[in-house]
A and B are shown apart, each in its own frame.
Chain A
């Protein structure tokens, strides 16, 4: 059957068609749609399998490794920074291997568009010595998923399927098939020299790994290069860059100028075979999205030109326009000097009615510019707009940064400095718990605010461990955040609806007193369902009318600046604020932000 699928959806179809029956991961843009698609396929076509979110990428990786060791075809999916979290099991699974097959789906985010780094996961495949396949289109994502799994199963080695934002989020008509006749059987074959290997056996496993990699680098299809066009200028390419180059050649009729040599598997790269193909060319360009993984393996900077030689930009997304500029500089394409028109810029902002906005507003009212505000990864990073976030680093770092700041200010500061950390519920489960243990254990004066909307909102409202049902619809045991916090030994805990402005401000001031008097952390849970979810919006407070009384509005813009709701619009002609009814959800939370009481609600 032919479907119009995104790269991410195609991966789920490909893996299940190949026989994968166990899939786990943690959401993160641009990877988030793979696992939910697997859940849907499994439900729709009665596939007996397990496809669920895990608490974080490290845990997911280990769960999938175990499943694979027990002989079940498995995959684990994450974004590039998620692989950093999973690094420990990732390296070791490469060594131990994956008897039932294990595909590691990693979506990179060059640019970056929604990440803290633009790292290239192919380098980590290289580092762990596992093969990596790089599809260029959604259709290839479907096909390469199958190739990745069969390679993994045959060699009992995890295989990485690396996509980038543009492959994950492109769509294409794809002819897919479903295999629901597979009979999977769990069978763990005890082998302590392998699965509980001591260092001596690790050396032997490393030797085996090297042998596998050598064999794979000679495998047909995987180590083959696709050749396109007949020109004199040779370009080695892979992934999305290949698709772009192909389109540029076709659209600009460069068939007689360029020749493309496309790599399917950037590691292990058969360098000898590739060098054979480039004989006679003085200069060969390497154009690949991400780091110079292929280029670096080729050596010889005189002959091979790319990112390392400065011929291709060394940072940022390699968009089709950037590639055209590279070709312009080489002299095969004449370029217009005109700067492309960009769309009007709109600052990203929390949704109108988001409980996080009210929470940040309360935090800012309570601590003004006195505190250090450590933030975290999620929608609430946008607390930046309310000046209530000073640092954003990586998952869970709000808590450990908070601990670090408080400690150095206690020892080396002129005076005590309040530190307020903000973290979302899912990020707290993911990696906020270990640093909170440190903070409690070491008598930190940290104030931790858990912004709980009971969902992974940023990446598309996936479920969290606090939910009663998993995303695939299984009944699950909800993990209660306050129980976790109490169990760690936090002596000050308050739970408050994030729409209760006065209550939150009171909690924050009590928390500050407590931390100072007791040298112990305080935890506040400001809870409000995500209004971006259907359920959250349906049950949300809704006034009949929320409006600005024009004669009371002085045009001071305090509401726009301090409350920062995108539905509050300043009209420069009338010099007044009005409410944009197309986006306003009539929650009335903005009322407190007007110093002249011009924002009114009608019940």
Chain B
């Protein structure tokens, strides 16, 4: 499986990639990623490409990805250019979800667990429990769980 995660600096996109990687490690599936971030610390594009179960490099080419997870809809068109089947596999964080995470849970970064839920729902390698067992190792498990389950539903 190939996926890309597109976020902006400070949103926690890299953490999301690490959570997915940890699920792979626990299932003994090889996993690789490649991170690209620009010079701007805050607000700049953070791009993570991931290969699960194949390849030597972590690089994902255009039109080959199974999933594109987008944390800022400004990058949605760019994200689509990675997908292999049109818009299938596109997971975008909407403004409503962003505001919900920031207001209800207290930090916009909890939206990553929501996206994880959406991702889990749309593929078959990992199930709900795989994700929860990794999330348990992170801070604020209670809030992450709420956000995750909302993504799953």
Contact, CB under 8 Å: B61 / A251: yes
Measured CB to CB, the nearest residue on chain B to A344 is: B74
For residue B63, give the distance in angstroms from its CB to the closest CB of chain A: 9
Count A/B pairs, Cβ under 8 Å.
Answer: 108
What per-residue 1/0 map shows which CB atoms of A316-350 lie under 8 Å from chain B? 00001100000000000000000011111011110
Contact, CB under 8 Å: A251 / B42: no
Segment with Cβ contacts to A, from B32-40, B122-130, B137-145:
B32-40
Contact, CB under 8 Å: A170 / B78: no
B55 within 8 A of A: yes
A379 to B31, CA, bound (A): 33
For residue A152, give the distance in angstroms from its CB to the closest CB of chain B: 27
What per-residue 1/0 map shows which CB atoms of A434-478 lie under 8 Å from chain B? 000000000000000000000000000000000000000000000
A576 within 8 A of B: no
Contact, CB under 8 Å: A244 / B57: yes
B146 within 8 A of A: no
For residue A138, give the distance in angstroms from its CB to the closest CB of chain B: 8
Residue with the greatest number of chain A CB neighbours at <10 A, chosen from B24, B25, B45, B58: B58
> Which parts of A494-532 form the interface with B (CB within 8 Å)?
532
**Chain B residues near A247 (CB, 8 Å)?**
55-57, 59
Number of interface residues of A (CB under 8 A): 42
A377 to B75, CA, bound (A): 30
B30 within 8 A of A: yes
What per-residue 1/0 map shows which CB atoms of B49-62 lie under 8 Å from chain A? 00000111111011
Contact, CB under 8 Å: B57 / A170: yes
A99 within 8 A of B: no
For residue A522, give the distance in angstroms from its CB to the closest CB of chain B: 31
B106 within 8 A of A: no
A6 to B32, CA, bound (A): 9
- Candidates B45, B56, B64; contact of A343 at CB < 8 Å: B45
**Chain B residues near A321 (CB, 8 Å)?**
61
Known: A4-B22, A346-B44. A172 touches B35 (CB 8 A): no
For residue B103, give the distance in angstroms from its CB to the closest CB of chain A: 13
**Chain B residues near A399 (CB, 8 Å)?**
none
> Which parts of A146-178 form the interface with B (CB within 8 Å)?
166, 169-173
**Chain A residues near B47 (CB, 8 Å)?**
343
Known: A240-B57, A320-B59. A341 touches B44 (CB 8 A): no
Contact, CB under 8 Å: A251 / B64: yes
**Chain A residues near B21 (CB, 8 Å)?**
4, 171, 173
For residue A181, give the distance in angstroms from its CB to the closest CB of chain B: 26
Contact, CB under 8 Å: B57 / A566: no
For residue B97, give the distance in angstroms from its CB to the closest CB of chain A: 14
Measured CB to CB, the nearest residue on chain A to B31 is: A173
Contact, CB under 8 Å: A343 / B78: yes
A256 within 8 A of B: no
A23 to B90, CA, bound (A): 44
Residue with the greatest number of chain A CB neighbours at <10 A, chosen from B45, B55, B56, B62: B56
Contact, CB under 8 Å: A566 / B43: yes
A114 to B41, CA, bound (A): 13
- Given A173-B21, A343-B45, 10 extra CB contacts under 8 A: A3-B25, A114-B39, A166-B57, A321-B61, A340-B81, A343-B47, A346-B40, A347-B40, A348-B38, A349-B43
What are 17 of the A-B contact pairs (CB < 8 Å)?
A: A136-B57, A137-B32, A166-B59, A170-B33, A171-B21, A171-B34, A243-B57, A247-B55, A250-B55, A320-B59, A343-B6, A343-B75, A344-B75, A346-B38, A346-B44, A346-B45, A351-B41
Q: Which 10 pairs between the two chains have the least Cβ-Cβ distance? A: A348-B39, A243-B57, A348-B40, A4-B21, A341-B81, A343-B78, A243-B56, A170-B58, A171-B33, A246-B56
